[in-house]
Amino acid sequence: MPSLPVLVLNSGSSSIKFSLYQACDSTQTKLFEGAVDGIGTDLGKFWIKDAAGKKLVDQTPALPTRAVAFKLVADALHSGSYPAPAAIGHRMVCGGPTVQKNQLITSELIDEMERYTAFAPLHTPIAVYIMREALRLFPGVPNFVCLDTYFHRTMPEVVTHMPIPEEYSAMGVRRYGYHGISYESIVYQLQPNVPGRLIVAHLGNGASISAIRNGQCLDTSMGLTPTGGIISGTRTGDIDPGVLLFILRKIAQTTESASAAADQLEIVASKKAGLLGVSGRSNDMRELREAIRDGDAKARLAVDKFVWTIAKWIGSFVAELGGLDMLVFTGGIGENDIATRAEICAGLGALGIMLDPERNNTRGKATISADNSPARVRVIPPAEDLIIVNHVVRLLGE
Ligand code: AMP
């Protein structure tokens, strides 16, 4: 296949990130990347920089709506200053039970994925909106969906099945798992020496952890929605269902309809909980570390809970994998927060995880375990856009 410009779109609740690669089967070269950030505000950010990091666009436009934000991106790409995309890859968090493979996007496929908005309610509406806009604004250009759930398709039924009545399972309620494109990118970067028993901890504002056997996902912490699993910036993670019922009943006392009460509960569990809920201060690890330095006991508790849950999940995954060859940290916290990595690993010596404090005193790609550590511990930044480009190139060739 000839080398083609491939655009990657990754939409979030208040931002649209994009990058353009020149790609064929064997090589992928990033040409530029950019973002519109601050959607819904009067003072957004719109920037594009080339592969060397040189800013090509640096603006602070009003971004009242997603439509305005995406039009800025489309206009820039149509301006003639950049190669026009020959194909577009969209990151999609969850396509529901019927859309589990990366594939060509049609309007029918978008409608089908939209039926399962409840499984990723903070992500799906914006992603399907951008897909429809991309089909409209880039006519004739093939668009492909790349799912975070795709990497987790190899999990056995005992992992994916939820202990609930069958009627709900039949509606697609099961463990899907998220951050899959990040996990896929770690396995990709480890090739050709992917360890047999691998645990990857994706620790960012959203956080999850996966057990990977021979390069294939065996288990992951997130469940039906990205709210499950380990606690993260603003999400509860796994929690006694009785806690949610208690909060729901409290909310229902002052709410008019059941659906409004459910919406409020969703905000509590997804946007007000986690590190933010416990600390009462911030969901941002850098701010929490500063607060800890100032003696803030709630910030300390929030970070301790984060560390404790991750260590517990690592322990259960080591048991599931029957041992451990490598632990990889990735995501904003995993790559940068030296203290979090040290605190997680401090109690895991019995599992063969031993850090070298000096090697751990670093940010970005590195091996941070001691020479005598039975399991190797590494820090590897994710390369999600590259994985999306690879899928697009493969699907174009099919
Ligand atoms: P992400 O969602 O992957 O962008 O990660 C965001 C999280 O990474 C936030 O909690 C940040 O505070 C954290 N983070 C980013 N840089 C650093 C750093 N230098 N030290 C500690 N935490 C960081």
The minimum-distance atom of ligand 1 relative to the CA of 283 is 10
**Confidence band for 154, pLDDT divided at 50, 70 and 90:** very high
**Superfamily for domain range 193-379:** ATPase, nucleotide binding domain (3.30.420.40)
Please tell me the predicted confidence (pLDDT) of residue 14: 84
Q: Which of 179, 182, 234, 333 to mutate to test the pocket of ligand 1 (most atoms within 8 A of CB)?
A: 333
CA 275 – CA 305 distance, rounded (Å)? 8
187 close to 215: Cβ distance less than 8 angstroms: yes
In which residue are the tokens 């602070």 written?
A: 60
**Residue 136 main-chain phi, psi, to 5 deg:** -75, -45
Q: Please give the positions annotated as active site.
A: 148
The yes-or-no verdict on residue 240 having pLDDT over 80 is yes
- Token pair, residue 276, equals 């933010």
Instruction: Calculate mean pLDDT across residues 204-233.
Output: 97
Domain ranges of the chain: 4-154, 193-379
In which residue are the tokens 């790409």 written?
A: 77
CA 138 – CA 172 distance, rounded (Å)? 33
119 close to 176: Cβ distance less than 8 angstroms: yes
- Token pair, residue 352, equals 């063969």
| Neighbouring C-beta atoms of residue 386, cutoff 10 Å | 20
Please tell me the predicted confidence (pLDDT) of residue 80: 87
383 close to 185: Cβ distance less than 8 angstroms: yes
In which residue are the tokens 């999990």 written?
A: 155
Q: What is the pLDDT of residues 110-144, one digit of tens each?
A: 999 999 999 998 889 999 999 999 999 999 999 99
The pTM (predicted TM-score) of the whole model is: 0.95
- Residue 285 CA to ligand 1 centre (angstroms): 6
The minimum-distance atom of ligand 1 relative to the CA of 286 is 12
Judge if 4-154 and 193-379 fold alike in CATH terms. Answer: yes
β-strand 216-220 against 326-330: which pairing, if any? unpaired
CA 224 – CA 94 distance, rounded (Å)? 9
Please tell me the predicted confidence (pLDDT) of residue 81: 87
Q: What is the pLDDT of residues 12-27, one digit of tens each?
A: 878 999 999 999 888 9
* Residue 54 CA, distance from chain mean position: 27
**Confidence band for 391, pLDDT divided at 50, 70 and 90:** very high
Q: What is the pLDDT of residues 361-370, one digit of tens each?
A: 999 999 999 9
* Residue 138 CA, distance from chain mean position: 26
CA 398 – CA 377 distance, rounded (Å)? 37
Which of 310, 309, 303 shows the shortest CA–CA distance to 233? Answer: 303
Q: What is the pLDDT of residues 243-297, one digit of tens each?
A: 999 999 999 999 999 999 999 999 999 999 999 999 999 999 999 999 999 999 9
The minimum-distance atom of ligand 1 relative to the CA of 340 is 21
* DSSP characters over 68-99: HHHHHHHHHHHSSSSPPPSEEEEEES---SS-
204 lines ligand 1 (CB under 6 A): yes
Cα(first)–Cα(last) distance of the chain, in Å?
A: 11
- Token pair, residue 40, equals 């819904």
Q: What is the pLDDT of residues 165-214, one digit of tens each?
A: 999 999 999 999 999 999 999 999 999 999 999 999 999 999 999 999 99
331 lines ligand 1 (CB under 6 A): yes
Residue 277 CB partners (closer than 8 Å, separation 6+): 234, 236
Q: What is the pLDDT of residues 75-119, one digit of tens each?
A: 999 998 889 999 999 999 999 999 999 999 999 999 999 999 999
Question: CATH second-level architecture of 4-154?
Answer: 2-Layer Sandwich (3.30)
Please tell me the predicted confidence (pLDDT) of residue 342: 98
| Neighbouring C-beta atoms of residue 244, cutoff 10 Å | 15
Q: What is the pLDDT of residues 328-347, one digit of tens each?
A: 999 999 999 999 999 999 99
185 close to 387: Cβ distance less than 8 angstroms: yes
336 lines ligand 1 (CB under 6 A): yes
Please name the residue whose Cα sits nearest to atom 21 of ligand 1: 337
